[in-house]
Each structure stands twice: as C-alpha cells, then as structure tokens.
Chains A and B, each alone.
Chain A
Amino acid sequence: MGTYGWTGKILWVDLTTKKITSVPTSNYEPEKYLGGVGLNTKVFWEMGCPTVDAFDSDNPLLISVGPLTGTAGPFSRAEVSGIAPQSYPQETFTYSGVGGKIPSEIKYAGYDGLVIVGKSDKPVYLSILNDVVKLEDAKSLWGLDTFETQKSLMKKHSNAAVLTIGPAGENLCRVAIILNETASAAGQGGYGAVMGSKNLKAIVVKGTGTLKVARPDVLMKLQQERMDAKEWLVGGAQSWGRYPLCKGDIAADMRAYHLKRMAGCHGCTYQCMGFYDIPGIGKGAQMCVEAWYGWYSGGSSEGYWEGNILSQKLGINNYELFGIMAWLRAVQYGIVDKKKLGLTSIPMIDHAGKPQLGGQKIHHDFLTELLNGMASGKSILSKGTARAAESLGPAARRVFNGIFPAWGYMQHHIENVGSALHWAMDTRDPYSSCHDYSSGFGLFPQIASHFGLPGGDMAGGKKMVYDRTEYQTAWVQNHQSIKNSMPICEYASMPYSFFHPPAMDIRIFESSMLSAITGVDYSVDKLWETGDRIYTLRRAVAVMRENRTRAEDDLSPIWFERLVGGAESLAAPLDRTKWEALKDRFYAARGWNPTNGRPTRAKLEHLGMKGVADKLQSAGRLG
C-alpha cells in the first residue's frame, strides 16, 4: 500500500472494554478491496463472519470511507456495514451509504474506517478529533432527536460533523437510520438500531489533516476537463432537490414558496438537494425519498413536509415509509385493522375525497401517531413492514410480497430482467447504487453496446429481455461494488456520465481518478476485476454467514404470477423457465457453481482470493 489514497489506519473501538486502538489498513489489502463496502466486507470476513444477531454486542458496526473521499468531487461518502436488522426473513450482512460532511472529516481525521464492537453499559458518544479519540457520556443526549443532538454536539465540539441516531435507533426500531446534517443518512439496513443496541448515540468527527495525492497534476487535469466540458456542474442533477419527487402541485408549491437554496455533500460539484423551510414545521433538505408522504397528503405541502422533517428528526428510514404507505392498502382492503398498527385514522383512506384529504391537522395527527409509534418501539411497524406483515397473517403478507420483492426491502426500479436478477442476488435493495439499468442501459442501447451489453429494453416501452442479460447484471454488480468502495456518488456515476468514446467513459474516468489519487495503476480491466472481487467477497460472506444458496436467489413467487410492484416495475411477470436458465448462465458468467450458487475455487484463485477459497472449503461451502 502506498502513502496516497489511504490514510493507513482503521480506528478500532471496543465499547465493552472502552479500549480504543487503531489497526493498519494494510492488514486488509486495500489495493484489492479499495474502501467503503469492499473494506467493510473484508474486515467482516477476517473477523470470521460472526453468525450472531443484529442486536448482539458482537455485531460489528463498520464505517469505511475510501481512497477518493476527501478530494474535490462527488466522493464524500462513507459506507456503513454490519448485520442488518431490517433484512428479512434472515438478517443479512449488508451495507448502507451516507454522504454529507462527515465522510470527508473521517478522512481528514486520519482514518480509512471505523470498526465499532461491543456494547457500552451506558449511553455514550464517540468523539474523534484527529488522533484524540474518546468515549463520552451521552446521558443528556439520549432521547433527543437527530437535529437537537447534532446541534448540541456541534456547539460543544466547534462545528464538528456528527453522525447520530434519533429515538428510533435508541428504541431498536428495525428501520432506524443514522443521520448526518439533514437528508444525508445511512437509511437502509436499520443500522441506527445497531448503534442504539450498542448504547452509542452519536459519532462526532473533526479532522484537520490533509491528503496528499500521488499525481496531483494528472488529477487537476481530470477535474479541469470535467469543468471545461460543463459536465462537472450543477444543473440537471439538481432537479429532484429543486422539484420534490412527489405530486406536481406540491412540487410547484415547494419550489415557488419554500425552497431556500440548494444543498448537498461536502466537496461535491453537483449539490443535488433542495433546502426548504415551512415556518412552524421545520427546515431541512430533501433529494428523493424524503418526498415519501408527498404522494399521500392529497396535495398538502405542509403534510408532505412534516412527513420528511419528523421522520428525519426521529430517525426513521424514508424509503421504508414509502413501502409502509403502499402496504397500508391492506387496511383499505379490510385485511388489517388499523388499530393493530396503532393508528386512529389514515387520511388517504378515511378522508378520501375531501380537499387535501382533510387538511393539515389530519396529516399531522396521522404522521405523529405513525412515526412516534415506530420511533418509540411501541407500534408493530417499528419492526419494519416485513416483520409486521408476518405477524398479521397470510393476506397481509401477500400484499407485502407484491411491494417488497426480496430481503425485506421495498421494490425499487425492478423494471427489466437484469435489475430483477440483480435484486435476487443481493442482500438488500441494491438499486440505490444500480441506476445503471433504468437510467442507463435500459434507455440507451448505444451506450449498452459500447460496453458490450444488451440494452434498450426500456426504450419505447418496456420489454422482457432474457438473452445475454446475465452479462448486464454482472457488469452492474461490479460497477456497484466499485462505486460503493472508491467511493463515488451514484449521481455522478451512471454509464453515460462523461461519455465521450473512445476517450472517456465512466470506466475510464473512474480508473483514471483512482490511479491519479492512489498512484496504483488501475487499468479499466484491473478496476473491473476489483469490482468482481468485492462482489464475490460479499457473496462469500453471504455463503459463510447466511448459508446462502441458489434456492434463496429469488424474488417473491408473486413476481412470477402477475404484475406487481407499481409503475416502476416489469412489463410482464417473470417467466420461471427462462429465469432459471438465466440464473444458470449468470452463475457461469460469474464463476460461481450453478448448482448451489457458491463461488468456485478457480474463480476465487483467479481473483487472488485463495484464502477465501480455503476457508469456504474447510466450512464445506466451496462452489
């Protein structure tokens, strides 16, 4: 490992013994696993893939940045990993990304990642000021919302960046988030509850260090080219922040009367979020899923905005709330009694037909009841929709299955066969780093063909294409792993980003950036092999910890029976025969055994992972 790109240290905090140490990043082959998800997964693998539950003190909370973090560009991202309480039917080892200010601060403080193990006997927060790291008493913070906690800690620690949980995380709500500033959250996975289970309220980071890069002149040229080409520029990327992704009348009202300015992550040139203020409700940012209640408030901007502000303050996953709202049709159908969900009234059902579904107070009462119920741990929805639906009987589960295709996560752009296959193979909703399908190959066949992949299956109406789709999925899985490990923001990393063949495509841009910063020569092929390695290691963890096999690589059976999943979904139900044949080809393309879906020794050794092959073999789980 060189001196560039990585700081060389991983902070290791044991909350049980209060021992704080650091280990060399070089223990984990960073050139082969980069950072972010790759580094987290490697650390977890070396820990022996503990089979404990998410709320067990031995579940490590892993937070890694990567070689690109801290430089100028869309790279201020950290990835949180660990055993996820949100995943279903089994808790899985997975990940969730977070942007904002804190990832850069972790890097400037001198760390490639944080490993947090054990459980504190009383509420604490972790404060990191460069190499001064302390566990401090958080008794006075326990119970505070995410905004109050951050304000209090920023005041105490001279404007440091804060990652925090709200009451939802403290009360072990399985869909609790970890938030930085507003609207930057590790949302999926329920990692807020993992922090809560460890009695860890917050992580405060301030770094005054600096980062050297290996080839500054090359890097400056790469950045300047993006500026000169007007690609590294705010504009289109801001559209979701500027026009909330919900009903048009709300979007127009918010834009006209409540948008204060744009906002976004540290060091990024895009600033994709909008910062809004509705007096009496609150201020904060929104980009995409923050608009969840905007589809159900009957055109009430106040209702929409209260949904976003309250969920962020309490620390609840907005994407899951989207899913809950869709699943509430089970109440409409008479399958589930709303009283069992702790709800007195649901505006979209009980006040349908009334202007704005009954007005602001109705929305306020509903949101307060729903979100406080979840955050306090009293509502059965605090376990997440999956576990709530399970406890409410088969009909409630059937409604759930049409909305949540796999792993306990709500449907997210399963719009072609490739993305369906990707979902089936992952350990969570993978789509937040896989827009390559719906925004890339699906619409632009010429771009897909540049990468040698099938595409165009969403242009001029959706089509169900199975032929060669295994290569599309494998490509996007590798790219997903690269994005989450370099790291680079999804927004800046679509296949058409910087597309000037043959001089520049996203692979060339990403490998050039990584080479210039680290000084390690990553050719396009080497970078893609790195993505392949990281994805394969994620698979090895799933095989080792969760005994993952081909049988589990599937979507809910309902996805093969009829059209489900809403507007952003497939053109036709999946065809079981074609699907299984596609899976055969997919495992072969990945170098995994088609019988059991496990990586083979040949593939692992090809990727320089002999040790992984040996461990899988001794566990009797080699493909």
Chain B
Amino acid sequence: MAKKKSGVKKITRREFIAGGGAVLAFGAASNLAACIPAATKKAAQPTLEGVPVSALIVPDPNICAGCGVCGLMCAFYHEKEYGHSLARNELVRDPFNAAYTFHVCQQCKSPNCYFACPKKDVALCVDKKTGVKYVNTAECLGCGSCSDACPFTPSRANVQPVKKVSFKCDLCRGRKDGPICVEYCTMHALRKVSGKERG
C-alpha cells in the first residue's frame, strides 16, 4: 500500500461537507439546508427548554461578490473600529474562482458555547424572547470556553486579542433595522432567516 504523503491532512467526511458547503450550495440557493454548514465537532447533548428557535444569517454563495462589507460594518457597529479581526463573521475568499465562504454563528438549538460558559446566563446569555445567543462583554472572562466548545470550524465565537473578551454574532440585537451585515450587503447575498422558517 502506498504510504501517505506526510504533511497532508486527512480530511474527514464531516470536514469535507463543511468545507464544501459553498460548492454544494451552488445552484441551489433557494435550498436553505444547503446554505447552512454542518457542524464539524460533536454537538452538545442538552437542549434549551422554553426558548424559541433563533433567527440566523444565511449567505447565498451564488451572489456574494466577496467585498467584505459585511465584516467591516459588523466590526464598526459593534466596536466602533474597522478591521476584519473584529468582525463577528468571517469571509474566506478565493478570488481566482470567485468562491467566497461566509462563516457566522449558527445560533444552535443546542448551543455548546452556552453550556460551556463558566458564567452562563451572565456572560454567555440566551435572549429568552428571540433565542439569540449573545455575549455580555461586561461579564465575560475571556476564558475561550465558548470558542473551544463551538462545533464549527472555524469557531464562530472567538476571543478578542486586545480586549480579551469573547465575541460572536448577536444578530445586532437591539438594532432597529436588524443585522447591519444584511442591510449593508448591497449584493443582497445575506439574508436573515427567521426561527420559524428555520424550523
């Protein structure tokens, strides 16, 4: 049997599906399930009781032009600073194939991040009305438990390098016009999908 080349990472089926999310979704933009990536790590067992299913941001990889306004406006709205390192979403760009993969918090029904938080309901909270999981930065310890627990790759919750607090998509809760990334996506490649539609 031929020996595997060293340095080549073995790709599991799960990783393959997650990485190829954009490709699989190509030509089936209206198929919501195809636009939502699969988790790459083990999902949490417990579920949230009495909390509605949260909305989430879903990209249409057929339309995205890869400009990254989503990340810029996200960082600016939340932190009053520009720079993709402060964005709650991440755009992985392949400009030679015009393939752009948008990563954002999937607002899990069984949120690993929430259950992993040592100060859950104080630092990592769930909005009881909307089901949105969000970080209360004033209370966050910056321990990174949520980031480690996130079942997706790359992790959808991260610790800010300067402020040492966790940050993740909170769907711009409290913003009158909804998520700023959706509003400023002039290509209309991003959509806020309601919890009801998500099922």
The reply to whether B187 and A234 contact each other, CB–CB distance below 8 Å, is yes
CB contacts (< 8 Å) of B186 on chain A: these are: 232-234, 269-271
Cβ of A599 within 8 Å of any chain B Cβ, yes or no, is no
> How far, in angstroms, from A527 to B68 measured CA to CA in the complex?
29
Min CB distance A144 to B, Å, is 14
The size of the chain B interface, using a CB distance under 8 A, is 33
User: What sequence of 0s and 1s flags, for each residue 197-215 of chain A, a beta carbon within 8 Å of any chain B beta carbon?
Assistant: 0000000000111111100
Residue on A nearest B82 in the bound complex, by CB: A211
Cβ of A438 within 8 Å of any chain B Cβ, yes or no, is no
Cβ of A72 within 8 Å of any chain B Cβ, yes or no, is yes
Cβ of B139 within 8 Å of any chain A Cβ, yes or no, is no
Cβ of B120 within 8 Å of any chain A Cβ, yes or no, is no
Min CB distance B62 to A, Å, is 7
The reply to whether A72 and B85 contact each other, CB–CB distance below 8 Å, is no
> How far, in angstroms, from A285 to B96 measured CA to CA in the complex?
9
Cβ of B24 within 8 Å of any chain A Cβ, yes or no, is no
The reply to whether B65 and A263 contact each other, CB–CB distance below 8 Å, is yes
Cβ of A275 within 8 Å of any chain B Cβ, yes or no, is yes
User: What sequence of 0s and 1s flags, for each residue 66-89 of chain B, a beta carbon within 8 Å of any chain A beta carbon?
Assistant: 111100110111011111111000
Count class of interface residues, chain A? 35 or more
Min CB distance A184 to B, Å, is 9
Cβ of A469 within 8 Å of any chain B Cβ, yes or no, is no
Cβ of B12 within 8 Å of any chain A Cβ, yes or no, is no
Given contacts A220-B76, A261-B62, are A211 and B67 in contact (CB under 8 A)? no
> How far, in angstroms, from A151 to B99 measured CA to CA in the complex?
14
Cβ of B36 within 8 Å of any chain A Cβ, yes or no, is no
Given contacts A213-B80, A234-B187, are A72 and B96 in contact (CB under 8 A)? no
Cβ of B93 within 8 Å of any chain A Cβ, yes or no, is yes
Task: From A150, A208, A227, A264, give the contact of B83 (CB < 8 A).
Answer: A208
Min CB distance A129 to B, Å, is 13
CB contacts (< 8 Å) of A227 on chain B: these are: 183-184
> How far, in angstroms, from A72 to B186 measured CA to CA in the complex?
12
Given contacts A261-B65, A267-B67, are A72 and B184 in contact (CB under 8 A)? yes
**Do most interface residues of chain A lie in helix, strand or loop, or is the interface mixed?**
loop
> How far, in angstroms, from A284 to B96 measured CA to CA in the complex?
7
Cβ of A79 within 8 Å of any chain B Cβ, yes or no, is no
Task: From A71, A232, A275, A284, give the contact of B82 (CB < 8 A).
Answer: A71
The reply to whether A267 and B68 contact each other, CB–CB distance below 8 Å, is yes
Given contacts A101-B93, A182-B95, A263-B98, are A70 and B67 in contact (CB under 8 A)? no
The reply to whether A271 and B98 contact each other, CB–CB distance below 8 Å, is no
> How far, in angstroms, from A289 to B84 measured CA to CA in the complex?
31
Cβ of B6 within 8 Å of any chain A Cβ, yes or no, is no
Given contacts A234-B186, A267-B69, are A261 and B81 in contact (CB under 8 A)? no
Cβ of A364 within 8 Å of any chain B Cβ, yes or no, is no
> How far, in angstroms, from A150 to B95 measured CA to CA in the complex?
10
CB contacts (< 8 Å) of B184 on chain A: these are: 72, 227, 269
CB contacts (< 8 Å) of A211 on chain B: these are: 81-83
> How far, in angstroms, from A457 to B161 measured CA to CA in the complex?
56
CB contacts (< 8 Å) of B77 on chain A: these are: 220
> How far, in angstroms, from A285 to B79 measured CA to CA in the complex?
33
* Residues of A225-248 whose CB lies within 8 A of B: 227, 232-234
The reply to whether B97 and A283 contact each other, CB–CB distance below 8 Å, is yes
Task: From B63, B73, B93, B97, give the contact of A159 (CB < 8 A).
Answer: B93
Given contacts A70-B83, A271-B186, are A159 and B65 in contact (CB under 8 A)? no
Task: From B62, B67, B92, B98, give the contact of A266 (CB < 8 A).
Answer: B67
CB contacts (< 8 Å) of B72 on chain A: these are: 71-72, 267
User: What sequence of 0s and 1s flags, for each residue 303-333 of chain A, a beta carbon within 8 Å of any chain B beta carbon?
Assistant: 0000000000000000000000000000000
Cβ of A424 within 8 Å of any chain B Cβ, yes or no, is no
CB contacts (< 8 Å) of B73 on chain A: these are: 72
* Residues of A262-285 whose CB lies within 8 A of B: 262-271, 275, 283-285
The reply to whether B63 and A261 contact each other, CB–CB distance below 8 Å, is yes
Cβ of A296 within 8 Å of any chain B Cβ, yes or no, is no
Min CB distance A227 to B, Å, is 7
CB contacts (< 8 Å) of B95 on chain A: these are: 101, 181-182, 263
Given contacts A159-B92, A283-B96, are A271 and B67 in contact (CB under 8 A)? yes
CB contacts (< 8 Å) of A219 on chain B: these are: 76
Min CB distance A181 to B, Å, is 4
Min CB distance A344 to B, Å, is 32
The reply to whether A264 and B82 contact each other, CB–CB distance below 8 Å, is no
Q: Tell which of A71, A219, A220, A266 has the most Cβ of chain B within 10 Å.
A: A266
Min CB distance B123 to A, Å, is 23
17 contacts between A and B (CB under 8 A): A70-B82, A101-B95, A108-B83, A147-B96, A182-B95, A210-B81, A210-B86, A211-B82, A216-B80, A234-B186, A234-B187, A261-B98, A263-B66, A264-B67, A266-B67, A267-B69, A275-B98
Nearest 7 A/B pairs, CB to CB: A210-B83, A216-B80, A72-B72, A181-B95, A275-B98, A271-B65, A210-B81
Using A227-B184, A275-B65 as known contacts, list a sample of 11 further A-B pairs with CB atoms less than 8 Å apart, ordered by residue number in A: A108-B83, A150-B96, A209-B83, A216-B80, A220-B76, A220-B77, A262-B65, A267-B69, A268-B69, A270-B186, A271-B186
Interface of A toward B, CB cutoff 8 Å: 70-72, 101, 108, 147, 150-151, 159, 181-182, 207-213, 216, 219-220, 227, 232-234, 260-271, 275, 283-285
